Amino acid sequence: MDKLTIVVPAYNEEEVLPDSVRTLLSVEDKLISSQMFDSSSDILIVDDGSTDDTWNIINEENERNKRITGIKFSRNFGHQNALIAGMTEAIKTADIVVTIDADLQDDPNAIEKMTREFLNGSDIVYGVRNDRHTDTWFKRTSAGAFYRILNVLGVHLIRNHADFRLMSKRAVEVLLEYKERNLFIRGMIPLIGFQSSKVYYKRSPRMAGESKYPLRKMLSFAWDGLTSFSIAPVRAILMLGILSSLLGVAAFFYSILTKWFGFTVHGWSSLMISIWVLGGLQMVSLGVIGEYIGKVTTEVKQRPRFTIEKKIGLQYEK
């Protein structure tokens, strides 16, 4: 019988973690009692360098129930790295991996539906929100624009899907073969190519605590997704450069004609505007190109994605 591991990245989640653990255990117990999974199925919580009581709670939960296991990072390495670390550890013994955030805004009851899709032949089952009514107008609008822009630029994403998904062991193993340090997992998984399906659910409000993805992090995440999967910004710079050159040529001939017909107007406004506009374009262009060079530098250095400080409850088969 297959073993299921639910991977839960957690960063400063002391307020919600105890309730989340109880809920996930209840869901997993139901699946075990239905003989869908082996009784050794567990929950792996990855503490992404929390500064609150998250790790102590993981230890307490492990003492109460050995099916609760944990990994502690030496510092905060980010949500995507926490997912990779959890999946790397999970497939050492698990046949199926489900990833879900600790706040359980994603409906854990959908895991049963995901399992049935897996049994019907899907290696990857995406959890997809059926509405965004719990989001603010700004977040709904910006999220919609994010998906549209990336799809236009050739980055295939599952709309309204975040990081709530089920993956078979072989799907996770293929994902882990992607070695880039600039992670955008929701863009990487569609590249795997195995049979996939979707399960729709209603997203709930956060039980307690604060969102770990404020506007600044959301914008940074969107930019990482764009620059990791598309060179469109660099091509846009090329087109701007060509356009600026054409405008410069047109301005050159215009100045000759005005001089020839005696319509020359002395002034500095047009000159200053041109300097500021072109100067701004150059700075933006250098910034975008520098972003790509920075990512290349990070990849070439081959530094570890994360450092694990402690583990608890993980027992691997010999």
CA distance 61 to 17: 10
Amino acid symbol at 137: W
CA distance 138 to 222: 15
Residues with Cβ within 8 Å of 93's Cβ and at least 6 positions away in sequence, in order, are 3, 5, 40, 315, 316, 317
Q: What is the mean pLDDT of residues 167-180?
A: 93
H or E segment to which residue 200 belongs: strand 196-201
197 C-beta neighbours (distance < 10 Å), count: 17
Residues 16, 208 contacting (CB under 8 angstroms):
yes
What is residue 63's predicted lDDT score, i.e. its pLDDT? Answer: 93
CATH class of 4-229+303-312: alpha beta
Name the range with the highest mean pLDDT among 48-52, 269-273, 296-300.
48-52
The CA-atom distances, in angstroms, between 81 and each of 42, 171, 294 are 20, 17, 19
For 28-72, write each residue's pLDDT tens digit: 999 999 989 999 999 999 999 999 999 999 999 999 999 999 999
Three-state DSSP state, 266? coil
Q: Which of 54-68, 173-187, 256-270 has the lowest mean pLDDT?
A: 256-270
Q: What is the mean pLDDT of residues 229-243?
A: 69
In 3D, which of 131, 192, 180, 129 has the Cα closest to residue 156? 192
Question: What percentage of the chain reaches a pLDDT higher than 90?
Answer: 46
Task: State CA 274 to chain mean position distance.
Answer: 40
For 214-225, write each residue's pLDDT tens digit: 556 666 666 666
Task: State CA 3 to chain mean position distance.
Answer: 26
Amino acid symbol at 59: N
Domain limits, the chain: 4-229+303-312
What is residue 316's predicted lDDT score, i.e. its pLDDT? Answer: 54
Q: What is the mean pLDDT of residues 2-23?
A: 94
For 243, the token pair is 């356009």
pLDDT at 6 over 90: yes
Q: Which of 64-68, 109-113, 154-158, 261-265 has the lowest mean pLDDT?
A: 261-265
Residues 70, 311 contacting (CB under 8 angstroms):
yes
Query: Is 0.85 topped by the overall pTM?
Result: no
